[in-house]
Amino acid sequence: MEQPLIEFRGVTKRFNNHTVLDQVDLQIYEGEVATIVGKSGSGKSVLLKHIVGLLQPDKGAILFGGKSIYKMGKKEWNRYISGVSYMFQNNALFDSMTVFDNIALPLRQTTNLDRKAIEERVRLRLEQMELGEVEKKYPSELSGGMQKRVALSRALATDPKIVLFDEPTTGQDMIRRNAILSMIADYQKRFGFTAILISHDVPDVFFISSRILALSEGKIIFQGTPEEFETLQHPFQHEFVQSLEELQEHLTGIYSKRNFKVRYQKILSRERPQESFVAGLFTLDNFEGICKLLGHTTGQMVLESLGRYINKHFGAVGGFSARQSRSEFSIILPFSYLSEAEQILRDFSMELQEEGLRIIQTEARIYRDICFEFAILAGLAGGEFGAKEIDRIMDDARENQREVARVYCGERR
Amino acid sequence: MPLISPLGRGAIRLLNHLGALSIFLVKSFFMIFQPKQLPLIIEQVYSIGARSAMIVALVGLFTGMVLGLQLFYTLVKFGSAGVLGSAVALSLVRELGPVLTAIMVTARAGSAMAAEIGSQRISEQIDALATMRIDPLRYLVSPRIAASMISFPLLTALFDIIGIIGGYITGVMLLGVNSGAYFYRVRSSVEMEDITSGFVKAVAFSVIVSTVCCFQGYFTHMQKDAYGAKAVGLSTTSAVVLSCVLILVGDYVVTSLLL
């Protein structure tokens, strides 16, 4: 069995008479994105602070590669802690330093890199995080979102092996929230670090997480994949996750994956068996490329706008849609046949190519001088209620995907 | 018994506090000699030393002027107005220079040390340093202690010189003491021992002020019944008050040891 990179064994932490962590056992594996979810005040930040040694447990042990971090010698501890970065909830930026100096600080103080090498590394981070224009500004002169990006740049400046994110999206609007999550996922893939995340951004955070850890009343009540978490039978699911999902749906008009399935099941129970329907899957092709070239915020804006466009079009013909993954949307057209749905898709495709893509680009603020080619793929699959699991029908739709619209730069091919 | 136990508790608390302060000082002091410290120390010398020079000079000037005025009328009664130079110079170099400089720097730079470190504590910047493998004592405290040890004697010297000039303005220019006699008395009465004792005091005060102010700021989050900005305010106040009291206590101790 794979050895955990970080392991909590019976960790208990009390503040005065209040037990914040109660016999916590958890495992974090190398290279994964582990997300800790829980209500406010449930001890998530306390848990994270134990990993970097800012807090010490009253009972229990925290192991790194099988060895207790509190039994490490000075050299060993330095080696361990130099591979860990922490992004604080309130950013903890040095307010008397410029953005550039904030990012350069860990490099200046903990490495032997010369001035030029430090400058190059900081500029690279600034560029990657779209912060080039604010390098001489002070944190108090920046918006909340920019401050988050500066904190993220500083956390990644030393190329850490483990990065702890304490609510990295707090106080951000929806686009920025998803952009930050997307950025974390992107960097995690690129640099291969282990990410431990505290987030309330359900369900978006599920799209980027390999594992979910649910903390309730000081105990870890669940550890597993996001898919397993969605089927968890526990009051915590209803109180915490569902309420957050409903808020998200209320704001966007697009169903969460879980509620999409719930609605599907409702229709299934209401309608006669053998009643047919069509499922569709839309993918924003080369989403990673958009993020890389135009930035994560623009990537999210494109996605958001596309989601709205799909929802508007298929909602008008009785369908309902949901976010399926980071760059996919699913739709269900109840009581439809595949031939009808194909015709609706053809109309949608024409409308999207002629007008929709322009609207999406305008909404995402992509102007002509920074044209970037991207395509929308779509696939349909027919089903009968009760005949197949919705996930399998979606897999069929994915197999049937073809290009339905494309943004061309220069001459149209 | 009911009287003794609070007394005992108070004594234990005081001992704990003094122990913590001593460990804080020793750890920070040895970190002065670690690599990458020089730029941080220079920056602090500018902040604590150079930026306090104006206020120290101003206080020094008026202290010297008041001394010149007061001592002139006292000495005239004994027919010894000619020794005004000696009286002003010795008062300044031995006593007033180091003490008043230390109090002025406490008010200007010491309060800033406590407030700055305190606000960094409550905004988790100190925790951030620790997670970046930057020892907060090395990065925040030891440069301030080193810079104070450099700046205090220099500022004391400035205070002394300006003070003597202040005494000259009132004694010679306004009250008519002979100019040559004033400077002759300054030169002949002030010995190296006086200057050394003044500098020893300045160094002792620099350690007291920087350690107390940094300590109060560093442990802002442990203030009783106060959090956030209120705790920073409380730390700053107690840093200034405690530093001033300890300067006067320290002055007596050092003087009695040197005499």
The closest of A152, A160, A153, A147 to A123, measured between CA atoms, is A153
- Residue B257 CA to residue B259 CA, distance in Å, equals 6
Residues 6+ apart with CB under 8 A from B27: B137
Reading phi first (left if > 0) and then psi (alpha if -120 to 50, else beta), residue B36 is in left
Q: Do A106 and B132 touch (CB under 8 A)?
A: yes
User: Cβ-count burial of A88 within 10 angstroms (0-12 exposed, 13-18 middle, 19+ buried)?
Assistant: buried
Comparing CA positions, the residue from A98, A4, A72, A84 lying closest to residue A48 is A84
Q: Give the full edge-to-edge strand order of the sheet including A84-87.
A: A84-87, A162-166, A194-198, A33-37, A211-216, A219-224
- The whole-number average pLDDT for the span B177-183 is 92
Q: Which of residues 353-372 of A touch B (CB under 8 A)?
A: none
Of A86, A90, A94, Cβ closest to residue B131: A86
Residue A122 tokens, joined: 């900081």
Return phi, psi of residue A324, to 5°.
-95, -40
B3 Cα to chain A: minimum distance (Å) = 28
CB-based contact, B26 to chain A, within 8 Å: no
Residue B125 or A355, more confident:
B125
Q: What is the pLDDT along chain A (413 residues), one digit of tens a residue?
A: 688 999 999 999 999 889 999 999 999 999 999 999 888 888 899 999 999 999 999 999 999 988 999 889 988 998 999 899 999 988 999 999 999 999 999 999 999 999 999 999 999 888 878 788 899 999 999 988 788 889 989 998 888 999 999 988 877 777 777 778 888 888 888 888 999 999 877 767 788 888 999 998 889 988 988 878 877 777 776 666 665 555 555 555 556 666 666 666 666 665 555 567 888 889 988 887 887 777 777 887 888 888 888 888 888 887 887 877 778 888 888 878 888 888 888 988 888 888 888 888 888 877 656 677 888 899 998 877 665 677 788 888 899 999 988 888 765 54
On chain B, the residues whose CB falls within 8 A of the CB of A78 are 133
Q: Do B131 and A85 touch (CB under 8 A)?
A: yes
Is a pLDDT exceeding 70 seen at residue B199?
Answer: yes
Give residue A242's pLDDT.
61
Peptide bond into B35 cis (omega under 30): no
d(CA A89, CA A108): 24
- Percentage of chain B beyond pLDDT 70 is 100
Spans of all domains in chain A: 6-247, 254-407
Task: Spell out the residues 6+ positions from residue A264 whose beta carbon is closer than 8 angstroms to its own.
Answer: A332, A390
Partners of residue A332 on adjacent β-strands? A279, A320
Architecture of domain A6-247: 3-Layer(aba) Sandwich (3.40)
What pLDDT is attached to residue B259?
77
Question: Across chain B, what does the average pLDDT equal?
Answer: 94
Query: Given CB atoms, is B132 within the 8 Å cutoff of chain A?
Result: yes
Q: How far is CA A262 from CA A242, A255, A267, A308, A319, in A?
A: 12, 10, 9, 21, 15
Facing B133 at nearest CB: one of A78, A95, A108: A78
Based on DSSP, count helices (H) and strands (E) in chain A, helices before strands: 16, 15
Instruction: Assign B252 to helix, strand or coil.
Output: helix
Domain boundaries, chain B: 37-258
pLDDT computed for residue B190 by the predictor: 92
Minimal-distance CA residue of chain A relative to B126 = A92
**Residues A80, A6 contacting (CB under 8 angstroms):** no
What count of CB pairs under 8 Å joins A to B?
A: 47
Q: Is B248 on the interface with A (CB under 8 A)?
A: no
Task: Give every CB contact of residue A284 below 8 A, 6+ residues apart in sequence.
Answer: A290, A302, A303, A306, A327, A328, A374, A376
B92-121 mean pLDDT: 96
pLDDT for the residue numbered A2: 80
For residue A54, the chain B residues in CB contact (below 8 A) are 127, 130-131
Distances A221 to A14, A202, A214, B196, B204 between C-alpha atoms, Å: 19, 17, 6, 69, 57
Q: Is A86 on the interface with B (CB under 8 A)?
A: yes
- ipTM tops the 0.90 cut: no
A18-28 β-sheet, strand order: A18-28, A6-15, A59-64, A67-68
- Which pLDDT value is given to residue A407? 84
- 10 Å Cβ neighbour count for B181? 16
Q: What is the pLDDT of residue A363?
A: 81
Binary contact (B125, A92; C-beta < 8 A): yes
Residue B164 above 60 pLDDT? yes
Residues in chain B: 259
Chain B residues in contact with A97 by the CB 8 A cut-off are none
Q: Which residues of B touch A109 (CB under 8 A)?
A: 36, 132, 134, 139
Average pLDDT of B51-65?
Answer: 96
A56 has a chain B CB within 8 A of its CB: no
* Contact flag A54-B131 (C-beta cutoff 8 Å): yes
- Whether chain B has a CB inside 8 Å of the CB on A61: the answer is no
d(CA A226, CA A230): 6
Nearest partner of A199 among A175, A171, A160, judged by Cα: A171
Do A106 and B133 make contact, defined as CB atoms within 8 angstroms?
A: yes
B139 contacts A88? CB cut-off 8 A: no
Beta bridge partners, A255, equal A322
List the one residue out of A39, A295, A325, A293 whose CA is nearest residue A175.
A295
Task: Using an 8 Å CB-CB cutoff, list chain A residues near B36.
Answer: 108-109
- Interface touch B133/A95, C-beta < 8 Å: no
Identify the burial level of A136 via C-beta atoms within 10 angstroms of its C-beta, where 0-12 means exposed, 13-18 middle and 19 or more buried: exposed
- Per the CB < 8 A criterion, the answer to whether B250 and B208 are in contact is yes
Residues in chain A with CB shorter than 8 Å from the CB of B31 are: none
Contacts with B128 from chain A: Cβ below 8 Å: 86, 88, 92, 94
Give the pLDDT confidence score for residue A274 in this predicted structure. Answer: 58
Spatial separation of the C-alpha atoms in residues A104 and A118, rounded to whole Å: 7
Residue A403: strand pairing partners: A377
Q: Is B141 helix (H, G, I), strand (E, B) or coil?
A: helix
CA distance B99 to A247: 64
- Architecture of domain A254-407 in this structure: 2-Layer Sandwich (3.30)
Is residue B174 very low, low, confident or very high in pLDDT (cuts 50, 70, 90)?
Answer: very high
The CA distance from A76 to the nearest CA of chain B, in Å, is 13
For B:41-70, CB contacts with A below 8 A are none
What is the distance in angstroms between the Cα of A136 and the nearest Cα belonging to chain B? 19
The residue of chain B with its CA nearest to that of A74 is B133
